[in-house]
Each structure stands twice: as structure tokens, then as C-alpha cells.
Structure 1
Amino acid sequence: MKRSEVTEKILDIKRMKGWDWAGIAKKIDARQSPFYTTAGLLGQMKLEPGQAAKAAKLFGLTKMEEKLLAEVPYRGSLPPGPPTDPLIYRFYELIQVYGTTFKELIQEDFGDGIMSAIDFDMKMERQPDPKGDRVKITMSGKFLPYKRY
């Protein structure tokens, strides 16, 4: 059994039952970010054993599939090069255009270092707008200064 097969099974069940990610995340762990839970179910993050057990019950998974949800995954599902999915490509484009600006502004304010993608939180909300609804994404990552040895 491969982790990618568990992801496909979860996606099939979600599709057949007409569930949404926010509802699924609440059933698995209402305290956890829906981004983290969704990433866990898609194979990009590891669920805690209790979360994996709740997910297994919700999706009717086997014990082996439950254990795979709680394993440290091989992260990064996109192939090398620019992604072809238009929505994902826009994030790639955002980094291509504003990446150096993010780097300059963060390092000017915080110093030489990085924003963690491990100690990280993200929120998304819909903002109504007369010209068309807007997507607001807020990212918050711990600043990690580079160390000299």
C-alpha cells in the first residue's frame, strides 16, 4: 500500500459523500487548522495517532491506511518546474514576481533568516467585493535567524 493510494481513496470517498474539507477537519480535530488536517489527508503532513484514528473511522480506512496517515510523509507533491494547474500556478507566479520583495522586506525587518514553513499557520477567508469576491490568505511563520558556527 502506498500513501498516494490512501490519498486517492480519501478523495474518492469525499467526492462520493459530497463532503467539504472544513467539515471533515472539524470532525477529525476542531482545534487543528483545516489547512493542516487537509494537508495530512492529502499526504503532505502527518496526522497525530488520535487524528489518524478519527480519519480512519470517518473514511472507513483499514488499520494499515490509518498507520500511513500518522507516518512522516515525503513532502512536496508537485513535479519539478512550473505547475500546470492554473490556481497553483498563480501561487508560483506570486513567488516569481514578489519573492525577492518578500525576502528583502522580511530580512530588512527581522534580519538574516527565513520564515518557517514548519512552525507555520495559515488562514483563508472570502471577502465579498462588488467587483468579485476576493480570496484573503494570511500566512504566519516563525522567523528563524541564520546561525554562525
Structure 2
Amino acid sequence: MTLPSLTKLLLKAKKEKNLSFEDLGNLINRDEVWVASLFYGQATASEEEATSLIAALDLTSDLKEDLSTPPVKGCLDPVIPTDPLIYRFYEIMQVYGLPMKDVIQEKFGDGIMSAIDFSIEVDKVEDPKGDRVLVKMCGKFLPYKKW
């Protein structure tokens, strides 16, 4: 998969400034996964958020429009499931998969979350505007081995 040039630029600047997604999230009062989603072109920043991020990353102001324009979401290579509920999980991974990967690897290092030593909880959260689905995944972190 080829990353968009804006994503590469943002990730490079973040690395050069030794900033985490959490650092940037704190700067603009957003969650770290949301900031990572923005970097991967899966979220839209307000002009104020874009201005703050551009300043923190020491980038040019012409990027403000790129960060504040609504993106085309779900740009990973498609292998689309047909079941509607499963498709929604696919859609979630399309939008948040790469950002989640980066945040996990920032916290744990280079590796993966096990799907074998793994648990998942699904709960119903009652809401007057419509009940919500709460999904909690817990997988053992497995660092990649060096040899």
C-alpha cells in the first residue's frame, strides 16, 4: 500500500519533532487515535486545529487546506465482506486501522496484537438517542523478534 504524500509529510515531521500522537492530541484537545486518523487522511481538522498542528510540526501554512478538507475515507486496499455488520468492522479498520496501528506501536514498540491470546467484549449501552454497541478488544502484545 502506498501512503499519500501528505501522510508521509506529517509522519516525517512528527518523527523529526519527536512528538507522539498523544502529544499532538493534547495540543488540540483531541484523542490520539483521532489525530492519527487525521494524519492518514481519515479525519478533518478545524482551521484552528490545522493551524496548531502545522505550527507544532513546523510545516508550511498551505497545508491548512489539506488538513481541513473533508477526506475520502476508507482508502485501504479492498477485500470487502458482504455481511452488513461485518462490513462495518471492515469500514472501521479502513478508517482507523492505520492510526490504531501507529498508536499501539508508539506505546508498545514494533509488534502486533495477538488474535490468539485475545478477548473481546461486546456490551449494549442504552442511549435515549438510540442504543449503542460497545466493543472492547484485549490482545496480548507480541513484539517482533530480532535475530
The TM-score, its normalising length taken from structure 1, stands at 0.50
The alignment-based identity, stated in percent, is 17
Backbone CA RMSD of aligned residues: 4.1
Match of residue 11 from structure 1: 11
Match of residue 43 from structure 2: 45
Task: Specify the SS of the correspondent of 1:45.
Answer: coil
Cα separation, 1, equivalents of 2:19 and 2:35: 14
Distance apart, 1:33 and its partner CA: 2.3
Amino acid of the structure 1 residue aligned with 2:54: A
Moved over 3 A (4+): 133-144
**What is the aligned length?**
99
Cα separation, 2, equivalents of 1:4 and 1:72: 15
Match of residue 24 from structure 2: 24
Distance 1:17 1:73, change over 3 A: same
Task: Specify the SS of the correspondent of 2:62.
Answer: helix
Amino acid of the structure 2 residue aligned with 1:25: G
Bigger shift: 38-47 or 67-76?
38-47
CA displacement 1:36-60 (0-9 Å, x = unmatched): 2221122111001100000111112
Q: Which has the higher contact order (CA 8 A, sep 6+)?
A: 2
Larger Rg over CA atoms: 1
The TM-score, its normalising length taken from structure 2, stands at 0.51
Task: Specify the SS of the correspondent of 1:50.
Answer: helix
CA displacement 1:6-49 (0-9 Å, x = unmatched): 2111111222233211111111x12x222222211221110011
Tell whether the 8 Å contact from 2:13 to 2:58 is kept in structure 1 after alignment. no
Where does the alignment leave 5 or more consecutive residues of structure 1 unmatched? 83-91, 103-123, 127-132, 145-149
Where does the alignment leave 5 or more consecutive residues of structure 2 unmatched? 90-102, 108-116, 132-147
CA displacement 1:94-124 (0-9 Å, x = unmatched): xx9x949x9xxxxxxxxxxxxxxxxxxxxx9
Amino acid of the structure 2 residue aligned with 1:52: A
Match of residue 56 from structure 1: 54
Match of residue 114 from structure 2: none
Q: How does 1:1-149 map to 2 (within 5 A)?
A: 4-27=4-27, 29-30=28-29, 32-81=30-79, 99=86, 143=130
Task: Specify the SS of the correspondent of 1:62.
Answer: coil
Distance 1:38 1:64, change over 3 A: same
Distance 1:6 1:138, change over 3 A: farther
